[in-house]
Structure 1
Amino acid sequence: MPDTGFSGRVKISATFTYATLTDPQDPGNYTRSGLVVTFRPHDRKFAKNDSIDPQPKPFFKKNAFDTEGALRGDAQKWETVLNREQGFQAKSLRNPVFDIHYNARSNGGLAIGAERIRYALVVTVTAPRMPELYDQVVRTYAGRLEALRPVLELPLQV
């Protein structure tokens, strides 16, 4: 977020993907890992006075209390690519974050010594009332953000 915060309606699009090993001998539990991605839109709103973490809001899930069966049936928890877009009022966002929890398994059970996995999260923020949003973010995070540059060149035939 820029130092100035947001105004008006804000749209956040997020695509999350990760690479995991497969477990071909266990078709019911095909992947060896899954990630639970939790969105926390406001860093000063807590569910209870004794909460350590700010209150989460469902982003990739239908609601915050989906059962394991619902998560499996809707291909969310163990799906390796998640994509969603949500709209928010600017006042409901303050230093929003995505927390990532890694779940590893082996043969459908607990994994001992789980391997690291590679992942990527691409977030797009659109705020129609803020035409200078990109410049504000670049100024706020100068020295910490850098523009992505393509690594490959694809030849085009005309």
Structure 2
Amino acid sequence: MKARLIPLYFQSADDPEFRGQCEKLEELLREEADILEPRPLGSTLPEADAVIFPQVLGDAYRRVEEIRAIPVPIIIATSEFGMVNIWDWEIVDYLRGRGIQVFAPYTLDLTRSIVRACALRKEMKETSFLLFQDNPGEGMQASIFKRFFWWEQECIERIRQKFGVQAVKKSFKA
């Protein structure tokens, strides 16, 4: 399954740098993603797994609320090598400092992994995990395993909220 990515632009999709980077990303991510038609930042987005900024501009500092309102993961891949350009780190850091989670991959492999994870996220929403466990870590030091967060109901609930994955606990004995 390929991720559906929407390239976002600040000023114009006709900018030669923007268009060139979109074409490069289509080539680099052809196995992992379907790159949809570019949209202006702030517009209503069609269904997608993530947005990707092939180009970031100083406008980002003034359009934080529009970026914050994006309902899907945000990837910044501004270099011709499919990762973030070094000079875009200041904008990335600014956005993160304002509480906006953005992916700014520093290698093409990392970009590809992030894109695959975005595709998987949609698939996981239709998934249930069946856990068979009565006494985690049963044995010599069972109490150690009960200290881990994954054993708590809160963890299972947070996984469901974040990823849509239903974890179902069953007993071996029943």
Range class of TM-score, shorter chain: under 0.3
| Bigger radius of gyration among the two | 2
> TM-score under structure 2 normalisation?
0.23
> TM-score under structure 1 normalisation?
0.25
Higher strand share: 1
